[in-house]
Amino acid sequence: MDKIEREILFNRIRAWVLDAGAIIREKIHDPRTISTKSNPKDLVTEMDRAVEFFFAKKIKTFYRDHLLLGEEGFGDSDINHTDTVWIIDPIDGTMNFVHQKQNFAISIGIYHQGVGEIGIIYDVMNNNLYSALRGNGAFKNDRKLPPLYHTKLTLNESIVCFSHRWLMKNKYIDETVMQQLVHDVRGVRSYGSAALDFARVAEGALDAYITMQLEPWDIAAGKIIVEEVGGIFTDIRGKQIGILERSSVVSAHPDIHEKLVQKYLKGAVK
Spell out, one character per residue from 105 to 144, where the chain touches Ca ion: x when CB under 5 A holds, - when not: ----------------------------------------
Determine the straight-line distance between the first and last CA of the chain, rounded to whole angstroms: 41
Query: Please, which residues have CB within 8 angstroms of residue 150's CB and are 6 or more apart in sequence?
Result: none
- The separation between CA 185 and the C-alpha centre of its own chain, rounded to angstroms, equals 23
Q: CA-CA distance, 260 to 108, in Å (whole number)?
A: 27
User: Smaller CB distance to ligand IPD: residue 214 or 268?
Assistant: 214
**140: β partners:** 130, 143
- φ, ψ of residue 229 to 5 degrees: the values are -100, 10
Cα–Cα distance for residue pair 226/42, rounded to 1 Å: 26
Quick one: 121 or 173, whose CB is closer to Ca ion? 121
Question: Which position among 6, 52, 68, 92 is part of the footprint of Ca ion (CB under 5 A)?
Answer: 92
Segment 172-211, which members bind ligand IPD (CB under 6 A)?
A: 192-194
Assess 123 for contact with ligand IPD (CB under 6 A). no
Q: Is residue 209 classed as helix, strand or coil in its secondary structure?
A: strand
Q: Three-state DSSP class for 88?
A: strand
- Find the shortest distance in angstroms from Cβ 97 to Ca ion: 9
Of positions 52, 197, 218, 235, contacts Ca ion by CB under 5 A: 218
**Residues touching ligand IPD, count (CB under 6 A):** 10
Q: Does 92 bind ligand IPD (CB under 6 A)?
A: yes
Residue of 70, 93, 204, 231 that binds ligand IPD (CB under 6 A):
93
**Residue 197 in the binding site for Ca ion (CB under 5 A):** no
**C-beta separation of 113 from 134 below 8 A:** no
Q: Which residues bind ligand IPD (CB under 6 A)?
A: 89, 92-94, 163, 192-194, 214, 218
